[in-house]
């Protein structure tokens, strides 16, 4: 189905783009053992989306992107016509239907003004269109503020509860990272520049660390008070995901471990043991990991980023310099002994190993390297999260050409095969399979039947 051109584009640039129909269908033929949801998700996440003005304002100002640790956008925030546009979009979108009869697929609305994929509002419904032909790719579930009482709650200073603890359970307690500057910052990461830019543009009110007591209060209302049975169509969060940047020195007169565990203690005091807590940070010593488990942490995520030994030094210089690749691995293996198989869930930035000029030149080489890392960790009970690399404009790698979509599809397939081979449980908060998965950052969890 083809839709007529609507309102003038806001977040886009006028230039020739090629139709995607033949490209997508060629991928279907090339990967007959991979479902359509994986292929469409990886291609649209690689390319991002161009948005019309109607799509940007579809939420009526009620929906705000609250996940501010990274931008997840390929376009520069400070170069957009409407600098409030990125936060007018939801954190994730639910895609379904269309000519490929997609089952529910969760993805991020990554902004890319040059994308061949367009999100427009047609007949009152947001849709993904082929930008060149305006043919339908998929429908998007209309987004709006969920009818939860949680969204009406505010702290005494007027801060909405969802800005402290997002309704999916994500909580950024420290919106910056003390691995600053070119000698320490991971090259794919825009955490510090993103925070500075959002504060400068007025997209966020503050970038200072959150308060443990506020996170705990929000958790109590989201998980304990809120009656999710009233809205069975909503996906109840599985756990609290506490994350933030590395604290190399001192923050609020606390070490990194003291800082993060203060939030765990506050949540446990307010909610008891009813809410699983995943804590994302650098891997700590065995003694500190045991303290985290005793404090109430149920799973750990210490992102490894890139497997290749030489690239690890280049892409993640702070991690290499302050802890070191071999020590990082040793500590992650200790985490498995402490938290158990399936409860150690680090991320790989899948695709960054093809960043130039240092990375692999071919998909075959890059896939071989990443799969080697996946096999090593998964054979030790560590369920790696492949996070499809978003070339964020504010990062040191901004402007790079993303790897071919074949790389992402092959990694998803290999990850799933290894999960089955080692009989591993999935990441604790995301069921596996098309129509079931709701992890937005990779299509690996959309694999299967």
Q: What is the pLDDT of residues 221-244, one digit of tens each?
A: 999 999 998 888 787 888 999 999
Q: Report if residue 69 sits inside a domain.
A: yes
Q: Same structural domain for residues 164 and 293?
A: yes
Q: Which of 87, 114, 140 is the last residue of a domain?
A: 140
Among 388, 377, 320, residue whose Cα is nearest residue 354: 388
Cα distance between residue 411 and residue 348, in whole Å: 11
Q: Same structural domain for residues 245 and 336?
A: yes
Distance between terminal CA atoms of the chain? 27
Q: How far is CA 57 from CA 125, 221, 270, 425, in A?
A: 12, 29, 37, 40
Cα distance between residue 288 and residue 296, in whole Å: 13
Q: Residue 226: what pLDDT?
A: 94
Mean pLDDT of 177-195: 84
Share of the chain above pLDDT 70, in %: 89
Q: Report if residue 2 sits inside a domain.
A: no
Nearest 10 degrees: CA dihedral of 53, 56, 58, 64? Answer: -160
59 or 174: whose pLDDT is higher?
Answer: 174
Q: Report if residue 1 sits inside a domain.
A: no
Residue 311 is classified by DSSP as: H
Q: Positive or negative, the Cα torsion across 241, 247, 252, 255? A: positive
Q: Report if residue 3 sits inside a domain.
A: no
Cα distance between residue 333 and residue 257, in whole Å: 19
Q: Same structural domain for residues 227 and 153?
A: yes
Has residue 449 got a pLDDT over 90?
no
Q: Report if residue 329 sits inside a domain.
A: yes
Cβ pair 122, 108 in contact under 8 A:
no
Q: Report if residue 270 sits inside a domain.
A: yes
Q: Same structural domain for residues 68 and 106?
A: yes
pLDDT digits 0-9 by tens, 294-315? 999 999 999 999 999 999 999 9
Residue 123's domain comprises 9-140
Q: What is the mean pLDDT of the chain?
A: 89
Has residue 402 got a pLDDT over 90?
yes
Mean pLDDT of 339-360: 96
Q: Report if residue 24 sits inside a domain.
A: yes
Q: Same structural domain for residues 160 and 90?
A: no
Nearest 10 degrees: CA dihedral of 264, 265, 271, 274? Answer: 60
Cα distance between residue 20 and residue 84, in whole Å: 29
124 burial type by CB count under 10 A (0-12 exposed, 13-18 middle, 19+ buried): exposed
186 burial type by CB count under 10 A (0-12 exposed, 13-18 middle, 19+ buried): buried
pLDDT digits 0-9 by tens, 94-115? 999 999 999 999 999 988 888 9
pTM for the whole structure: 0.93
3-state secondary structure of 280: strand
Spell out the residues 6+ positions from residue 125 whose beta carbon is closer than 8 angstroms to its own. 139, 140, 142
Has residue 8 got a pLDDT over 50?
no
Q: Same structural domain for residues 131 and 155?
A: no
Residue 391 is classified by DSSP as: -
Widest CA span of the chain, in angstroms?
62
Cα 282-304-392 angle, rounded to 5 deg: 100
3-state secondary structure of 139: strand
Instruction: Please tell me the total number of residues recorded for the chain in this structure.
Output: 449
Q: Which of 140, 159, 186 is the last residue of a domain?
A: 140
Q: Same structural domain for residues 185 and 82?
A: no
* CA–centroid distance for 304 within its chain: 15
438 or 404: whose pLDDT is higher?
Answer: 404
Among 134, 290, 271, residue whose Cα is nearest residue 215: 271
Cα distance between residue 48 and residue 389, in whole Å: 11
pLDDT digits 0-9 by tens, 16-42? 788 999 999 999 999 999 999 999 999
Strand partners, 244: 174
Structural tokens at position 378 = 């998964």
Q: Which residue has the tokens 């033929």?
A: 29
Cα distance between residue 373 and residue 412, in whole Å: 14
Q: With bands split at pLDDT 50, 70 and 90, how would you rate the model's confidence at 196? A: confident
Q: Residue 147: what pLDDT?
A: 82
Q: Residue 278: what pLDDT?
A: 96
Number of separate domains in the chain: 2
Q: Report if residue 16 sits inside a domain.
A: yes
For 355-405, where are the E strands, in sequence order?
385-388
Other Cβ atoms less than 10 A from the Cβ of 300: the count is: 26
Spell out the residues 6+ positions from residue 189 whose beta carbon is closer than 8 angstroms to its own. 70, 177, 392, 395
Q: Residue 24: what pLDDT?
A: 97
Q: Same structural domain for residues 284 and 159?
A: yes
Q: Same structural domain for residues 90 and 234?
A: no
pLDDT digits 0-9 by tens, 115-142? 999 999 999 999 999 999 999 999 999 9
Has residue 209 got a pLDDT over 90?
no
Q: Same structural domain for residues 155 and 222?
A: yes
Q: Which of 140, 163, 182 is the last residue of a domain?
A: 140
Q: Same structural domain for residues 244 and 354?
A: yes
Q: Same structural domain for residues 81 and 198?
A: no
137 burial type by CB count under 10 A (0-12 exposed, 13-18 middle, 19+ buried): buried
Residue 391 belongs to a domain with what CATH number? 3.20.20.70
Q: Residue 192: what pLDDT?
A: 80
Q: Residue 61: what pLDDT?
A: 66
């Amino acid at each position: 189905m083809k839709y007529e051109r609507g309102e003038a584009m806001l977040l886009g640039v006028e230039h020739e783009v090629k139709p995607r129909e033949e490209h997508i269908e060629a991928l279907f033929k090339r990967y007959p053992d991979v479902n359509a949801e994986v292929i469409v998700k990886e291609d649209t996440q690689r390319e991002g989306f161009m948005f019309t003005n109607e799509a940007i304002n579809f939420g009526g100002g009620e929906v705000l992107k609250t996940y501010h640790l990274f931008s997840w956008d390929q376009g520069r925030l400070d170069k957009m016509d409407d600098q409030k546009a990125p936060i007018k979009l939801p954190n994730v979108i639910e895609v379904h239907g269309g000519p490929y009869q997609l089952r529910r697929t969760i993805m991020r609305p990554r902004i890319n003004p040059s994308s061949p994929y367009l999100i427009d509002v047609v007949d009152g419904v947001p849709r993904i269109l082929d930008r060149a032909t305006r043919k339908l790719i998929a429908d998007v579930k209309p987004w709006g503020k969920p009818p939860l009482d949680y969204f009406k709650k505010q702290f005494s200073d007027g801060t909405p509860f969802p800005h402290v603890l997002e309704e999916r359970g994500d909580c950024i307690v420290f919106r910056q990272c003390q691995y600053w500057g070119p000698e320490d910052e991971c090259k794919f990461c825009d955490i510090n520049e993103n925070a500075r830019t959002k504060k400068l543009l007025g997209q966020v009110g503050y970038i200072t660390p959150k308060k443990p007591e506020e996170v705990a209060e929000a958790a109590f209302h989201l998980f304990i008070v809120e009656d999710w049975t009233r809205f069975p169509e909503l996906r109840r969060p599985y756990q609290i995901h506490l994350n933030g940047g590395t604290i190399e020195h001192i923050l609020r007169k606390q070490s990194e471990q003291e800082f993060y565990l203060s939030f765990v203690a506050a949540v446990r005091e307010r909610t008891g043991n009813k809410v699983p807590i995943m804590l994302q940070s650098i891997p700590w010593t065995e003694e500190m990991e045991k303290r985290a488990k005793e404090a109430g942490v149920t799973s750990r995520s210490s992102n490894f980023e890139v497997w290749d030994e030489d690239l690890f030094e280049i892409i993640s210089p702070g991690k290499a310099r302050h802890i070191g690749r071999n020590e990082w691995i040793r500590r992650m293996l200790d985490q498995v002994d402490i938290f158990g198989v399936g409860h150690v869930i680090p991320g790989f930035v899948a695709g960054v190993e093809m960043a130039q000029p240092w990375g692999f030149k071919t998909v075959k080489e890059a896939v071989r390297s990443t799969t080697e890392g996946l096999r090593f960790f998964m054979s030790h009970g560590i369920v790696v999260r492949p996070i499809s690399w978003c070339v964020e404009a504010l990062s040191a790698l901004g402007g790079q050409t993303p790897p071919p979509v074949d790389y992402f599809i092959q990694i998803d397939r290999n990850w799933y095969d290894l999960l089955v081979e080692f009989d591993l449980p999935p990441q604790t908060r995301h069921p596996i399979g098309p129509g079931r998965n709701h992890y937005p950052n990779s299509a690996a969890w959309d694999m299967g039947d």
